[in-house]
Structure 1
Amino acid sequence: MSILEADRARIAAIDAQILIFLEYSDRELESLSALQGEQAALHERLASYKYPVLTLPNEIVSKFFANFLPIYPLCPPLTGTSSPTNLAHICRLWREIAVATPELWRAIGFSDEGVRSEHKIYLSNLWLSRSGTLPLSIDIDEHWVDTAKILPDFLPHCARWEYLQLHIFSPLPHFLPQMPLLRQIDVMLGMTPPIFTLPDAPLLRTAIVGARRGVTEGVILPWAQLTSLTLRSVSASNCGRILRQATNLLHCNLRLFTRSDRQYTGSDVVLSHLDCLTMDTGSNRFPDVLSTFVVPALRSLTIEERLLSPVEPIRSLTAFISKSGCTLQKVHITEKIIEDADAYRQAFPSTEFSFEFDGY
């Protein structure tokens, strides 16, 4: 590499000398011709050099390219230095390898700032074609792209959707096509009322669901086959309705929207396999939801202290454990403002406690 650098420096020096000869015509033409000959020889030597990276097999280079991107199913930007499109701008060979590597183009998101929506749509169609027949990770957020314009391009590929994130405010088709490869879905619906029906999706195990004003009656998923469920800004009554159908959950994360459910009373929610439960609320009102849970296999609980009880959280936690018959190994109390931390450890000596204090 030092020799190549020296050659480039010598070429630059020759360029400067040639300019001088061209300015002063009384110089000998033989000297100019010699310099031009030396310059041509240097260019030829530089052109003949083959960089070691360009001698690697294409299959190895494509593996390097795949590791350049975020780990699937995370979506790289459509443009910029972290985008696979950047790899196609290095040289002709790398462009050919990048375009022929479907793994680079199978995770498509639209969060790039400063890129016009029309250009995002053009690029997404290009990525869809380059992704071949691979399963897809799709992230469509109406904040970044016009859903009405982009969805018609993606719906014909729904049989390849594996990870789907939809944060939208405009209406969707009431019944989406079948999604045989879908494993995870994240939907946040802003339309009122929210209507979303997912058809046959036999591999779906993880769902994240939210809707404006906590209303989710119009959201229909195959709840019984889920093992992980997150409900965001969902009313306590809707939460109970969904959870009574999601009987095979192992992990559950609830963020309650409680404006109309302060005096919530519902029938028991029995989740026989649930291992981990997280519960919080964005409201100053706190319905007694926890007391309706029967979770005999629960080992980990994360909960806002006021959702245990606004007055006697330890008594509430004791009643919950007794009713469920569970053996809690870890309890994480968030927004702790009521009970002394040591009081929890004294009441439940075999349980590991951790705390987040209010205001931290």
Structure 2
Amino acid sequence: MASYPAHVLHSARMAPEAPKRLQPAMPCPDCSKIHPIRAGLIPSPFESVIAQQSWPTALETAAIRDFTRDIDAEMAWRELAVDRLLCELAELRRRSEQHKALIAPIRRVPPEIMAEIFLQLTAIGAEERYPFAYNSYNRFKKERLIRPILHAAPLIFREISREWRDIALSVPSLWNSLSLTCTNDKIQSSISLCDMWLKRSGSLPLSIQIYRPYHRDAVPQEVVGHYQDLLRVILPYAERWRLFHLSEIPLSCDRILRDLLPESVPILEDLGVSHHTESADSTPWEGLRTAPKLRVLYFDTICGTEAGQWLSFPWSHLTHIDVRRCSVYDYLHILRAASAAVVCAFTVELDSSSDHSPVSHSGLQTLKIENRLTCPQLSLLEIETEQEPSTPHGGLPSFIARSGATIQNFSLSGTTLNDTEFMACLSGMPQLRHLDVSEFSSSQFTNEVWESLTWRPDSPSPLIPDLESLHFAGGNNCSHEAVAQMLESRVRSDKPSLKTVYLSFFRNASDSVWERFVAFQKLGLNITLDMTFAESDEGSEISDAEIGGSDSDAESGDSEDYGDSEGEDA
């Protein structure tokens, strides 16, 4: 107290001592809150002056100054008392929490129950997402992978108590899944974190995903060394890999993989390797000989390898394959060897000595469909050609004739099939439910095709009788009237299967045909009309005479220009 002014010490002596126990609670006249009766205050000797609002005399003025100094001193003392009480309150709160924790019900939960709680909380916090390599192919299985985040499960369990830390460290299944994002500036900390994580995983199968964000700049040599050290930490656990994804790790690390990767990975089920735009001249992965449980493979580059290096890879076990930057020879070999494959995707960038026209099939992004190829269980078929091939895809109808009995989804984009070949394809897919056609270089949909799809009670069943959804873009060689007649016949039939239609015409429709399309909504058809790409120079319906195909009445003459309406819903 010696450091305070004398008048503060004087007031402190005058003030009543703070109560050590709570006094009876009563409403406060100032704040109206219920709290203990406050200590008495120094009475003012100038109540009469305050009441009369009179100007004090010189003697009273001096006395008032002395009195206000005493009040200020009293305030200073009480502020000190408040600070002391706040500290005492914090200490009492800590003591209360400590003693309540001693008798908390959770302390009586057996360790094995706590371990199960930890597992459930960790599973909730895991990211359910497609592995990095399969974002564009959502047919691949999702994986729940744990990202190491401070103050989140499972790392947070180490921070609560010594007992919880011991329980967390004794449960290997908290640590057998790891999704690690490595940046060049944090790679060193990632090495120690990965080492700690895997050492705690016991003998359980491991799911590991190591991802480095792609950068155009070259990786500094020092950073390359850190990535090599990271692989030296992970590779000794290869015999326990169940899922292993490696993305954007510098190619110069392949030497470490080649030296330390075993020929056998007995429980590996899912392998993904990506180098983005880097060109891999060779890879250690084609030397993998034994992987009896391998089912899913993503690899972004095999076209730089010598022909035949991948021949001994265990393709026969795979059910899901996604291979980028391969040659025609590569994917043909893989298709022949992968007898159990269900979903395949190939990006073909190198041709072979054979004359092949690449197309897209099912999950296969660009695939040559040879006459010898048959897929009896095929349910989804996607044909896409980014560049117009030199010859028509004459082999596609025969392939569908052999394999199309089970196809329910068919997508055709940018191919040179004519309308006759296209109808031959449709006739080979009797169970087709969803049809998606985008015309670019040629016109598959002529009036004859729309008429073959029209439902007529007095004639045999039309093509694809169970069609549920239609997505069509094009229409340079057919009339809108033929389209409208087909849709009306489907929605008014005794067996109305068609529910959803999206039409994007390259020519504008007349007012009357447009109104017919809009009216289909009242019949329960979910129809969307998109005139974004319609030509606006003529703005009129093409006639059947100009097409030379149908006996139906064609709309002709002027029509309102819908060329400026973007994605308008009917």
TM-score by length of 1: 0.71
Return the alpha-carbon distance in structure 1 between the equivalents of residues 420 and 157 of structure 2: 57
Return the alpha-carbon distance in structure 2 between the equivalents of residues 95 and 42 of structure 1: 25
Return the alpha-carbon distance in structure 1 between the equivalents of residues 194 and 394 of structure 2: 43
- CA deviation string 1:36-95 (max 9, x = no partner): 797455543232123555554413422333323235843232335556324433554443
For 1:299, the equivalent position in structure 2 comes to 407
Instruction: Pick the aligned partner of 1:348 from 464, 475, 486.
Output: 464
Would you say 1:227 and 2:316 are equivalent positions? no
Instruction: Pick the aligned partner of 2:169 from 55, 75, 99.
Output: 99
Structure 2 contact 121–153 (Cα < 8 Å) conserved: no
Unaligned ranges ≥5, structure 2: 21-83, 129-141, 215-222, 358-367, 454-462, 474-503, 505-532, 534-566
Instruction: Pick the aligned partner of 1:206 from 283, 296, 317.
Output: 296
Return the alpha-carbon distance in structure 1 between the equivalents of residues 305 and 345 of structure 2: 14
* Structure 1 residues 164 and 209: alpha-carbon distance in aligned structure 2, compared to 1, 3 A threshold: same
Return the alpha-carbon distance in structure 1 between the equivalents of residues 446 and 98 of structure 2: 72
More strand by share: 1
Other structure's SS at 1:244 match: helix
Amino acid in structure 1 at the alignment position of 2:343: C
Structure 1 contact 66–103 (Cα < 8 Å) conserved: no
Structure 2 contact 273–299 (Cα < 8 Å) conserved: yes
For 1:241, the equivalent position in structure 2 comes to 333
Would you say 1:184 and 2:273 are equivalent positions? no
Structure 2 contact 282–304 (Cα < 8 Å) conserved: no
Return the alpha-carbon distance in structure 2 between the equivalents of residues 304 and 132 of structure 1: 50
Structure 2 contact 210–245 (Cα < 8 Å) conserved: yes
For 2:436, the equivalent position in structure 1 comes to 333
**The 10-residue stretch of structure 1 (161-170 or 72-81) with the greater mean CA deviation from structure 2:** 72-81
Structure 1 contact 275–298 (Cα < 8 Å) conserved: yes
Per-residue deviation, 1:264: 0.7
Would you say 1:79 and 2:141 are equivalent positions? no
Per-residue deviation, 1:252: 2.1
For 2:200, the equivalent position in structure 1 comes to 130
* Structure 1 residues 106 and 43: alpha-carbon distance in aligned structure 2, compared to 1, 3 A threshold: closer
Would you say 1:318 and 2:424 are equivalent positions? yes
* Structure 1 residues 115 and 137: alpha-carbon distance in aligned structure 2, compared to 1, 3 A threshold: farther
Amino acid in structure 2 at the alignment position of 1:348: I
Instruction: Pick the aligned partner of 1:196 from 264, 279, 285.
Output: 285
Structure 2 contact 176–201 (Cα < 8 Å) conserved: yes
Structure 1 contact 78–112 (Cα < 8 Å) conserved: no
Structure 1 contact 186–207 (Cα < 8 Å) conserved: yes
* Structure 1 residues 289 and 102: alpha-carbon distance in aligned structure 2, compared to 1, 3 A threshold: farther
For 1:284, the equivalent position in structure 2 comes to 387
Other structure's SS at 1:264 match: coil
Amino acid in structure 1 at the alignment position of 2:315: W
Instruction: Pick the aligned partner of 2:126 from 48, 56, 69.
Output: 69
Amino acid in structure 2 at the alignment position of 1:275: L
Instruction: Pick the aligned partner of 1:157 from 234, 237, 252.
Output: 237
Per-residue deviation, 1:239: 1.6
Structure 2 contact 394–421 (Cα < 8 Å) conserved: no
**The 10-residue stretch of structure 1 (80-89 or 284-293) with the greater mean CA deviation from structure 2:** 284-293
Higher relative contact order (CA 8 A, sep 6+): 1
Return the alpha-carbon distance in structure 2 between the equivalents of residues 331 and 216 of structure 1: 41
1:33-44 alignment, distance < 5 Å:
34=20, 39=89, 41-44=92-95
Per-residue deviation, 1:319: 4.6
Would you say 1:275 and 2:378 are equivalent positions? yes
For 1:45, the equivalent position in structure 2 comes to 96
Per-residue deviation, 1:284: 2.7
Return the alpha-carbon distance in structure 1 between the equivalents of residues 183 and 327 of structure 2: 33
Return the alpha-carbon distance in structure 2 between the equivalents of residues 89 and 192 of structure 1: 47
Per-residue deviation, 1:101: 2.6
- CA deviation string 1:261-313 (max 9, x = no partner): 7951675454555434554668435585973856467434454522xx33427
Return the alpha-carbon distance in structure 1 between the equivalents of residues 346 and 446 of structure 2: 24
Other structure's SS at 1:234 match: strand
Amino acid in structure 2 at the alignment position of 1:120: S
Matched positions, count: 333
**The 10-residue stretch of structure 1 (280-289 or 152-161) with the greater mean CA deviation from structure 2:** 280-289
- CA deviation string 1:330-355 (max 9, x = no partner): 44537554545995892433455553
Structure 1 contact 235–258 (Cα < 8 Å) conserved: yes
Return the alpha-carbon distance in structure 1 between the equivalents of residues 166 and 294 of structure 2: 35
Would you say 1:252 and 2:363 are equivalent positions? no
For 1:173, the equivalent position in structure 2 comes to 258
Unaligned ranges ≥5, structure 1: 1-19
Return the alpha-carbon distance in structure 1 between the equivalents of residues 405 and 294 of structure 2: 23
- Between structure 1 and structure 2, the one with the greater Rg is 2
Per-residue deviation, 1:128: 0.3
Amino acid in structure 1 at the alignment position of 2:148: L
Per-residue deviation, 1:227: 2.2
- CA deviation string 1:89-141 (max 9, x = no partner): 35544433333332222122222558611111111111101111111112234
Structure 2 contact 274–300 (Cα < 8 Å) conserved: yes
For 1:8, the equivalent position in structure 2 comes to none
For 2:115, the equivalent position in structure 1 comes to 59
- CA deviation string 1:204-233 (max 9, x = no partner): 222223217687844453112222222334
Return the alpha-carbon distance in structure 2 between the equivalents of residues 341 and 127 of structure 1: 62
* Structure 1 residues 161 and 239: alpha-carbon distance in aligned structure 2, compared to 1, 3 A threshold: same
TM-score by length of 2: 0.48
